[in-house]
Structure 1
Amino acid sequence: MGSRSSSRAARVLAAALAGGCALALPGLARAEMPTFEVIAENGHLMPETIEVPANTRFRLTLINRNAGPEEFETTRPFKELVVGPGVTRSTIFPPLKPGTYPFFGEFHPDTAKGRFVAK
């Protein structure tokens, strides 16, 4: 019986280790995802042009240094990210085909403008 218990324990340990490795992989993939920052300040979004790798998911982090909230928005692909003053938030973008994709700050539409350039 001791042999069966040892064998079962080894299988349980192997399964647990395999499960642990599987759980670690998404975190590893997230760490390797390209990340870009946009700062909302004084009614502007900086930088105004962000070069992103085409056909690759990426993370956008918005840092709001405005006195009030800002809403980062794109229409293609459609994304909205509302960020309160002094708050930082992130969102994931799907892979973009090569091209130019405008973005803007909805609360400062005349001055908070920019674009992603997927290459």
Structure 2
Amino acid sequence: MTLLRMNSRRIGCLLWLCALLTCASARGEVPIFTLEIRDHLFYPSTLVVPARTKVKLIVINRDTTPEEFESYELNREKVIMGGAKATIFIGPLAPGDYPFFGEFNPKTAQGMIRVED
């Protein structure tokens, strides 16, 4: 009987801990930011995001042709087909500027992620 009670208490504590962690992660939602590609340009060309925070970047390609979001500094590259959207997670990042470009139109499709406190 004593052994059964000890196991029940451990299971109860484990379940309570799991519920607590689930609630904590639900409150810590990832901020969402949107970039659009139109006429082979990124809008906005400079996007300000919070420092030391993981963010969700939604890139919407309004053009009919594909474009590739690429950034050496962010270590990200993602092809977004014409008329489609893509999700890219970045961060947490230190304050600073992180350039990105569209690999299929590098002369026009340029932008910057500005990370600020």
Same fold by TM-score, threshold 0.5 exceeded? Answer: yes
**Unmatched segments (≥5 aa) in structure 1:** 1-7
The percentage of counterpart residues that share the same residue type is 33
RMSD across aligned positions (CA): 2.4
* In structure 2, distance between residues paired with 1:95 and 1:59: 11
> How many matched pairs?
116
**Unmatched segments (≥5 aa) in structure 2:** 1-6
Q: Which residue of 2 aligns with 1:89?
A: 86
The change in CA–CA distance for 1:27 and 1:77 in structure 2 (over 3 A counts) is same
* In structure 2, distance between residues paired with 1:88 and 1:21: 34
Q: Deviations over 1:21-68 (max 9, x none)?
A: 644544443x3x221111011111110011111121111110011111
Q: Which residue of 2 aligns with 1:5?
A: none
Answer yes or no: is 1:118 the counterpart of 2:109: no
* In structure 1, distance between residues paired with 2:53 and 2:82: 30
Using the size of structure 2 for normalisation, the TM-score is 0.78
Using the size of structure 1 for normalisation, the TM-score is 0.76
Report the residue type matching 2:47 in the other structure: I
Answer yes or no: is 1:60 the counterpart of 2:57: yes
Shift in Å at residue 77 of structure 1? Answer: 2.0
